[in-house]
Structure 1
Amino acid sequence: MPVEVDAQTRHCTLIGDHIRLEGTGPEVEIVTDEQLRMSVAILAGERIPITEAEADALTVAGAVDSRRHLKTTAPSSII
């Protein structure tokens, strides 16, 4: 699992292939990556792909939720 969250301290760890980032929940931003078709957590300028369950855990810790839903009916949607 690339995300570890301590709900009491709001400390978050994002784990990528060759990187381990640590910070508090409010330092993390969650965005939608249209090309990957999944959520990505951003901390210290680094992007780590995450599951929706991990995104939800990060938002509970105070992460900024900037996700947007991709829709097949939107003309500009890649889906």
Structure 2
Amino acid sequence: MPVEIDESTRRCTLIGDDVHLEGDGPAIEIITDEQLRMSVALLAGQRVPITEAEADALTVAGAVDSRRHLKTSVPGSVI
């Protein structure tokens, strides 16, 4: 699991292939990566792909939710 959350302090750790980032929940932004077709957590300029369950948990810790829903009916959608 690439996300660890301390519920008492709302400090979050994002773990990727070559990154291990720590920060407060509100310092994290969650976006949709259209090419990966999944959510990505952004912290200190670094990107860590995450599951939707992890994205939801980060929003509870205060992360900014900037995800967009991808739809097949939208012209130009990668889906």
TM-score between both structures, scaled by the size of structure 1: 0.98
> Hey, what does 2:78 align to over in structure 1?
78
In the TM superposition, residue 6 of structure 1 has moved relative to its aligned partner by: 1.1
Helix, strand or coil at the partner of 1:41: strand
Whether 1:7 aligns to 2:42 is no
CA-atom RMSD, angstroms?
0.5
- Aligned-pair identity (%): 77
Unaligned 5+ runs, structure 1: none
Count the aligned residue pairs. Answer: 79
> Hey, what does 2:62 align to over in structure 1?
62
In the TM superposition, residue 50 of structure 1 has moved relative to its aligned partner by: 0.2
Helix, strand or coil at the partner of 1:13: strand
Letter of the structure 2 residue corresponding to residue 20 of structure 1: H
In the TM superposition, residue 61 of structure 1 has moved relative to its aligned partner by: 0.2
Unaligned 5+ runs, structure 2: none
